[in-house]
């Protein structure tokens, strides 16, 4: 009853009954419609999750091979693939349904939000995220760019999404022209349907790998956060699978070169990690003990990735250095070495600081429900539970309200602000207290966050 779903499904599988020029990519393919948004285009997280679960539950009943989702949350620094909707997207792929999701239409998000990331479920590790290009192959100005909140490349591919003519709802056999990554997504999903029909042995991850392998590289050489691997190529993908070749994507290699197992370290020690992959490494990260994973993808010293570990912030004794590498197909390999810190005493003081401020806005028709998240960690990057966090929230009308709550076991203070007016907000952490920790505000990764809903 909104028209968005009709337009999108027509792009993927429309028969062209009203005008054969506007047949869908995989025209006349069978379509299963799952309605999760209302006539105004709004919906709830619960409704979207229920629809995604329905795909998994009824995959075999309706022989669902491809799923296309032309919806997205607003960009947020918290969109790192670990939220409910991204994990559900991963689950759809794991249940062998090739899921295509829209990158979103905020353009380069840092222009509006102060950081360069995309929303959810497009931040999913496994789903095929689709950006938009114009007819001439240039990047659509509205199409979101990566990376994700945790530094992964997105989108995977792009497809035509500017000025796309497809079926118009409630018009009989009429057509209408829209633009958006919502249009690009079913365009790519239609290609996915064709190659899966051509080779029934392809898994959902094979579909992703075929499309990224055969995409027309644009922008920077190799995968980038504007085009992904490039523009999806229907003929090249079909030729690939009908030629009998299913692309092999081996998991990455990852090994800690230094410190060696059992080595004694002190001061600022440089950790070296050797990581590689046949199709390219997406991210390399290091973790000390059970602390926060640190992205070192852009830290390269010769042939190795590196991390400068300040061991003086850790107590003398045994510690574990962990490393992991993730490739462009979300395959991960990890390695661990034990090391002994010896600084003649080390640090025994407990300090804490703000590691991130993020938000989530859930839209229900014209209204928005706003939740603020503030993460508190200690000097070693470990979450601090039981810290009292106070924030000042400046609302769109300029008024300021103060809220306080306590962090949970994950070190996150959750502020549920309920129904909130749309507009610009600024959230500032004004205080953090704990009986066993000292608040080290100069160490804050951020103290204030501005955004719009």
Q: Is 428 exposed, middle or buried (0-12, 13-18, 19+ CB in 10 A)?
A: middle
Number of other CB atoms surrounding residue 178 within 10 Å: 18
- So what's the pLDDT on residue 307? 96
Instruction: Give the model's pLDDT for residue 246.
Output: 52
- How long is the chain? 453
User: May I ask the CATH class of domain 253-346?
Assistant: mainly beta
Q: What angle do CA 150, 154, 156 make, to 5 degrees?
A: 140
Query: DSSP characters for 344-365?
Result: EEE----EEEEEEEEEEEEEET
55/49 Cα distance (integer angstroms)? 10
CB 237 within 8 A of CB 254: no
What tokens does 298 get?
């852009």
Per-residue model confidence (pLDDT) at position 86: 94
At residue 423, the pLDDT reads 86
**pTM, to two decimals:** 0.57
- Show the tokens assigned to 159: 């497809």
Q: What is the CATH number of domain 351-452?
A: 2.60.40.10
Among candidates 378, 375, 372, 349, which has minimal Cα distance to 443? 378
Give the phi and the psi of residue 181 in degrees, each rounded to 5.
Answer: -65, -15
Alpha carbons 6 and 14: distance in angstroms, whole number: 9
Instruction: Determine contact, residues 424/452, Cβ cutoff 8 Å.
Output: yes
Return d(Cα 219, Cα 139) in angstroms, integer: 9
Listed in order, the ranges of the chain carrying CATH 2.60.40.10 are 253-346, 351-452
Nearest-angstrom CA–CA distance, 174 and 19: 8
Residues of the chain with CATH 3.40.50.200: 4-242
Residues of the chain below pLDDT 70: 76-78, 108-117, 244-249, 278, 345-349, 364-366
For residue 153, count other CB atoms closer than 10 A to its CB.
22
* CATH domain 4-242 topology: Rossmann fold (3.40.50)
d(CA 381, CA 311) in angstroms, rounded, equals 13
Cβ-count burial 348-383 (b if 16+ within 10 Å, e if not): eeebbbbbbbbbbbbbeeeebbbebbbbbbbbbbeb
Q: How far apart are CA 140 and CA 221, in angstroms?
A: 19
């Amino acid at each position: 009853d909104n028209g968005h779903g009709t337009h999108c499904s027509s792009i993927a599988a429309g028969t062209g009954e009203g005008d054969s020029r506007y047949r869908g990519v995989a025209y006349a393919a069978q379509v299963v419609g799952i309605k999760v948004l209302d006539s105004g285009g709004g919906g709830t997280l619960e409704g979207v999750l229920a629809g995604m679960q329905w795909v998994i539950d009824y995959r075999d009943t309706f022989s669902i091979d491809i799923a296309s989702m032309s919806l997205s949350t607003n960009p947020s620094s918290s969109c790192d693939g670990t939220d409910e909707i991204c994990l559900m997207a991963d689950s759809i792929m794991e249940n062998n349904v090739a899921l295509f999701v829209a990158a979103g239409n905020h353009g380069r998000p840092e222009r509006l939000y102060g950081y360069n990331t995309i929303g959810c479920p497009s931040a999913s590790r496994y789903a095929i995220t689709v950006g938009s290009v114009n007819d001439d192959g240039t990047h659509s100005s509205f199409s979101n760019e990566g990376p994700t909140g945790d530094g992964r490349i997105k989108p995977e591919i792009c497809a035509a999404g500017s000025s796309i003519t497809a079926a118009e709802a409630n018009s009989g056999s009429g057509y209408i022209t829209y633009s958006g990554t919502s249009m690009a997504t079913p365009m790519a999903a239609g290609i996915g349907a064709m190659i899966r029909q051509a080779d029934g042995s392809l898994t959902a991850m094979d579909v992703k790998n075929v499309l990224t392998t055969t995409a027309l590289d644009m922008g920077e050489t190799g995968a980038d956060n504007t085009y992904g691997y490039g523009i999806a190529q229907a003929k090249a993908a079909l030729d690939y699978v009908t030629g009998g070749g299913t692309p092999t994507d081996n998991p990455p290699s990852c090994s800690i070169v230094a410190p060696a197992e059992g080595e004694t370290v002190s001061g600022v020690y440089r950790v070296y990690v050797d990581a590689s992959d046949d199709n390219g490494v997406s991210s390399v990260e290091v973790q000390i003990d059970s602390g926060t994973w640190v992205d070192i993808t852009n830290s390269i010293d010769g042939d190795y990735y590196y991390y400068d570990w300040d061991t003086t912030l850790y107590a003398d004794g045994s510690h574990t250095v962990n490393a992991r590498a993730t490739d462009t197909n979300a395959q991960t390999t990890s390695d661990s070495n034990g090391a002994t810190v010896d600084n003649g005493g080390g640090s025994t003081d407990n300090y804490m600081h703000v590691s991130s401020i993020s938000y989530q806005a859930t839209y229900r028709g014209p209204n928005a429900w706003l939740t603020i998240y503030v993460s508190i960690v200690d000097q070693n990057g470990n979450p601090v539970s039981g810290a009292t966090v106070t924030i000042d929230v400046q609302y769109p009308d300029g008024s300021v309200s103060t809220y306080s709550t306590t962090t949970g076991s994950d070190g996150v203070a959750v502020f549920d602000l309920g129904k909130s007016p749309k507009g610009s907000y600024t959230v500032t952490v004004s205080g953090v207290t704990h009986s066993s920790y000292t608040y080290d505000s100069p160490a804050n990764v951020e103290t204030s966050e501005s955004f719009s809903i």
